[in-house]
Amino acid sequence: MADIFKEIKSKRGEVASIHSAFKDYPQGVEAHFHFHEKILFGDGPLDRSERKEKLERFSKILTKEPWKAHVEFLKLIHEGFSHPEALHATMVVSYFNFVNRCVHA
């Protein structure tokens, strides 16, 4: 078992199916896991409850019409998000889009 799978198991208790599916590409699993840890569980500018509650409209636009996301990004700023919070929101939404595409592929 590659070191990254040992690390994931020690931190999460088990290896998620998204990671297992890419077992033949451990470098990709490692990059994905560490990105996941930093963006979703790290000390970002948005706490976890804010990530869920305030991002519905932005998430829909960034997911379905990403070419329009810059306007929605500016709306987040106008609505009181700091620039770092809006950037963090962008990475959170983009992360889930990335994972969904990996799963479907």
pLDDT of the residue at 90: 94
Using CA atoms, how far apart are residues 89 and 84, in angstroms rounded to an integer? Answer: 9
pLDDT of the residue at 46: 82
Using CA atoms, how far apart are residues 5 and 10, in angstroms rounded to an integer? Answer: 9
Instruction: Answer for the pair 73, 58: CB distance below 8 angstroms, yes or no.
Output: yes
105 residues of the chain, pLDDT tens digit each: 579 999 999 999 999 999 999 999 999 999 999 999 999 888 888 877 766 767 888 999 999 999 999 999 999 999 899 999 999 999 999 999 999 999 888
Q: Where are the domains of the chain?
A: 1-42, 45-105
* Radius of gyration of the chain, Cα coordinates, nearest whole angstrom: 15
Instruction: Answer for the pair 18, 99: CB distance below 8 angstroms, yes or no.
Output: yes
